[in-house]
Amino acid sequence: MASKAKTLYVCSACGHESAKWFGCCPGCGEWNTMDEVFKAPEKTKAAGRTAAVALSSNVQMINDISCDGEVRHKTGLEELDRVLGGGIVKGSLVLLSGDPGIGKSTLLLQICQYLGRTLKILYVSGEESAHQIKLRADRLGVNTENLFVLCETDVQIVAEHMRASMPDLVIIDSIQTMNVSELNSSLGSVAQVRECTNCLMQTSKSLNIPTIVVGHVNKDGNIAGPKVLEHIVDAVLYFEG
């Protein structure tokens, strides 16, 4: 008999999962943070059978692994390069957060102006239209033929564009507007933010493309979404005025 989808309650503050709803999260103690999500049924194995697993990865001796050193892209902003250890590392996933209106999108377009001289950049917006981004770019004097804008919220479509165009840098504005269409949960929920970040991380690592992800903050000044988000990415930057 096919198993049914399960209903879970996930805390939007810490990601704690429970089969029952609680007014106060058992994991972090926050109130009214338990959101209802639906978990797809897992595939079950036939009783008494052990499935054979095909090995698709290789074990390597560390001395046999070739390493040409880290390749970093300088952003043209001295302080940002300093906190990043000299620039953005290829294949890394960087989370940039800050209060609303602090200038995150403006900062990213300034990075595009500098890196766009020599690098191909894909700017993914889930919040603004291409027209709005163009207006801001014109105000900042951003003029490069290497900057491409994609207005999309489906993270799997974004990943396909990354594979197809192979940019040198990807910017996601913002992670809270991205979604995985197979997940039956609301935009910006713990499950959506976690799975979208995991998808971007896997794509960035496999293609060796550095990706900057914008993250919003909540009313308490913390990054919105599950705490695990900060552990998935390679670096967390907080932009203050």
CATH of the domain at 114: 3.40.50.300
From first to last of the 241 residues of the chain, give the pLDDT tens digit: 455 667 788 887 777 888 888 888 888 888 888 887 776 655 554 444 555 666 667 898 988 887 767 789 999 999 999 999 999 999 999 999 988 888 999 999 999 999 999 999 999 999 999 999 999 999 999 999 999 999 999 999 999 999 999 999 999 999 999 999 988 888 888 889 999 999 999 999 999 999 999 998 876 666 656 677 888 999 999 988 6
Which is nearest to 39 in space by CA: 235, 194, 228, 175? Answer: 194
Question: Which string of DSSP letters, residue by residue, matches 3-72?
Answer: PPPEEEEEETTT--EESS--SB-TTT--BS-EEEEEEPPPPPPPTT--------S----GGGS------E
Clarify whether residues 121 and 26 are in a common domain: no
Question: Which string of DSSP letters, residue by residue, matches 141-204?
Answer: T---TTEEEEE--BHHHHHHHHHHH--SEEEEE-GGG-B-TT-BS-TT-HHHHHHHHHHHHHHH
Clarify whether residues 27 and 108 are in a common domain: no
Looking at the 3D structure of the chain, how many domains does it have? 2
Residue at 49 is within a domain: no
CA 100 – CA 118 distance, rounded (Å):
31
Clarify whether residues 93 and 20 are in a common domain: no
Residue at 218 is within a domain: yes
Identify the pLDDT of residue 154. 97
Clarify whether residues 144 and 196 are in a common domain: yes
Clarify whether residues 23 and 85 are in a common domain: no
Q: Is 42 exposed, middle or buried (0-12, 13-18, 19+ CB in 10 A)?
A: exposed
Residue at 232 is within a domain: yes
Cα first-last separation, the chain: 58
Residue at 53 is within a domain: no
Residues in Cβ contact with 150 at an 8 Å cutoff, skipping those fewer than 6 apart: 122, 123, 124, 125, 158, 161
Residue at 51 is within a domain: no
Give the range of the structural domain holding residue 195, as residue numbers without chain letter.
Answer: 70-239
CA 121 – CA 171 distance, rounded (Å):
8
Identify the pLDDT of residue 15. 75
Clarify whether residues 13 and 101 are in a common domain: no
Identify the pLDDT of residue 48. 47
Residue at 149 is within a domain: yes
Clarify whether residues 100 and 199 are in a common domain: yes
Which is nearest to 149 in space by CA: 133, 135, 160, 164? Answer: 133
Identify the pLDDT of residue 221. 62
Residue at 63 is within a domain: no
Structure tokens at 83: 């906190």
